Every structure is written in structure tokens, then in C-alpha cells.
């Protein structure tokens, strides 16, 4: 494989984010005596989701924050889940609430997301947070963690999207859509595509930045990539395979994220960082 593409090391950048976060957590504890706390809510026992929530709790503890584990059985109803989330929302000792996605099919996930108070929506999944992203309202709501992490990664590699054509493949409410809004806010020209888009290869070929977030292994082919493009693979499929045909894409891209080790660590680091920011907001501390 021709490895001329720069590998965008999400693990290294994420560690820098977490190091800064640890300093903020220490400041919060010194100023208020309060230990910031993230509550992770998991419905069912999906192995990947169990692993993800465990990783998030470990990162919490690594920066000096507290984590609270809430695990509910698969048969939990929407009403029961909303009640559990509302209880956490009303608990002043909890500063961030994360509902691990996806929930079982019978659960109304949107109703559960909306039970999270806006100030504790550190995963950026509520309508409030999406509206703040779309309208560019700073300090109200939080970034969706995966697109927020991608923007931090681009900044770390000194990629300025101004004037670039960004092609986002995927339209989920917690990844593709907010990703497009963030890139638009960063002065990119944005095309949103999805699995049903006609002439998809032609559109992807136009992308100076390509974000693959469709949830299908190697869906974006290497020969679709424009020479010199920046390729962000936000997919994670069975067997550590992303949404991009990595080897072929790496031969043409100028920068590319590996899977694993690219976007994933940035997602978790953004979540932990936003939890510390949320704690500071709730405790009345000035972050400036």
C-alpha cells in the first residue's frame, strides 16, 4: 500500500483533550469541592454498547471525574427509561447524562433523549443541542460528540474547511446532520449524501473533505476519493472495519483517519470534556 496519506491520530489528539480536561476538573474541585459526574444509561446487554459505556466510565475516572452506571434490562419500556433519565436529570450531583445508542427497537429513543435536561445533554443528542449547532448559538447546548470530535481533529491537523467542498455521507440525527451543520458553520460548502443518493460516487469525487458516516463496512470506495482529499471515517463495523475502503482510499487521500484509533477516541474525549464544561456551567464557574 502507498501510505503517502497522513494518518490522523485520534488517540494522540484525544489524549491532549483529556489532559486539558483533567486540569479543568481539578480546578472545579478546588473551587467548589464538587467532583463532576457523568451518568451512563444502558438498556440491554449489547456487547458493543457494554464495552463503549465501560470505556467512557474509565475515561471519566482517568481525568478525576466520577461516573455513575445505570444498567436497565432489555425489556425496559420507554416510560421506564424516561423516568430513569428524568431522575438523573433532577439529581444535582449528576452533571451529564448519556444514553448509550442504540436503544432496543421497542424504545422511543427520541423521547428518551428529550428527557435529558439541556444543560446535562453532554452527548449533544437533544433537539435543543441540535438547534444550537444549526443556528450557531455558542454556550447553549453541546456538540454532538462524534461530529464535535471530528471538528477538533481537523483543527489539530490545521485543516481549515473555509471554501472547501465537504461531502458528508450519512444523515443520522446524531452524526451526519450535525456534522453538516458544523462544517457549514466552519465556512465549508456542504453536500449531504446517503445510501439512496443517485450518482453517489460522482458526488464523493468532488469532496475536498469526505466524512463517511453511513454505518456500512467499506461503503465508500477508494476510487471515489479525489486526489488529495481529507477522508474522515466515522464508521465502526464488525472486525474493526470502517465505512471507507481504507487501503484504496489511503493511496489517494492527503489525510485519512484509521479505524480504530481515529474518530472513536475523539468522540469519547469530547464527551468527557463536555461533561466537565457542563459541571462548570451548573456550578456557576466562569470557563473563560
- Active centre residues (catalytic): 56, 100, 123
Cβ-contact 210, 204 below 8 angstroms: yes
Closest CA to 149 of 4, 8, 7, 6: 8
Closest CA to 266 of 138, 169, 202, 179: 179
The alpha-helical segments, DSSP class H, found in the chain are: 10-32, 47-62, 78-89, 109-114, 127-135, 145-156, 176-185, 200-204, 246-250, 263-282
For the record, the C-alpha cell of 254 comes out as 492527503
174-179-182-186 Cα dihedral, nearest 10 degrees: 170
Q: Return d(Cα 63, Cα 19) in angstroms, integer.
A: 7
Amino acid at each position: 500500500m502507498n501510505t503517502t496519506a497522513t494518518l490522523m491520530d485520534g488517540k494522540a489528539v484525544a489524549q491532549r483533550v483529556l489532559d486539558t480536561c483533567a486540569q479543568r476538573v481539578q480546578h472545579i474541585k478546588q473551587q467548589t469541592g464538587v467532583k463532576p459526574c457523568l451518568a451512563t444509561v444502558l438498556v440491554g446487554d449489547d456487547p458493543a454498547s457494554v464495552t463503549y459505556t465501560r470505556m467512557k466510565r474509565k475515561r471519566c475516572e482517568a481525568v478525576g471525574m466520577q461516573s455513575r452506571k445505570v444498567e436497565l434490562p432489555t425489556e425496559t419500556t420507554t416510560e421506564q427509561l424516561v423516568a430513569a433519565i428524568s431522575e438523573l436529570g433532577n439529581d444535582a450531583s449528576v452533571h451529564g447524562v448519556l444514553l448509550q445508542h442504540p436503544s432496543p427497537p421497542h424504545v422511543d429513543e427520541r423521547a428518551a433523549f428529550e428527557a435529558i435536561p439541556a444543560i446535562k445533554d453532554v452527548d449533544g443528542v437533544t433537539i435543543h443541542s441540535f438547534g444550537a449547532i444549526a443556528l450557531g448559538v455558542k454556550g447553549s447546548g453541546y456538540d454532538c460528540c462524534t461530529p464535535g470530535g471530528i471538528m477538533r481533529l481537523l483543527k489539530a491537523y490545521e485543516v481549515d474547511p473555509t471554501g472547501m467542498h465537504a461531502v458528508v455521507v450519512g444523515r443520522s440525527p446524531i452524526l451526519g446532520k450535525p456534522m453538516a451543520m458544523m462544517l457549514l458553520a466552519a465556512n465549508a460548502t456542504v453536500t449531504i449524501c446517503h445510501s439512496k443518493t443517485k450518482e453517489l460516487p460522482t458526488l464523493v469525487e468532488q469532496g475536498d473533505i469526505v466524512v463517511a458516516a453511513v454505518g456500512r463496512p467499506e461503503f465508500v470506495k477508494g476510487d471515489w476519493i479525489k486526489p488529495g482529499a481529507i477522508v474522515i471515517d466515522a464508521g465502526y463495523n464488525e472486525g474493526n472495519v470502517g465505512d471507507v475502503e481504507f487501503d484504496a482510499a489511503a493511496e489517494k487521500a492527503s489525510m485519512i483517519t484509521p479505524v480504530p484509533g481515529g474518530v472513536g477516541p475523539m468522540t469519547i474525549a469530547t464527551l468527557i470534556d463536555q461533561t466537565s464544561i457542563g459541571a462548570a456551567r451548573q456550578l456557576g464557574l466562569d470557563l473563560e
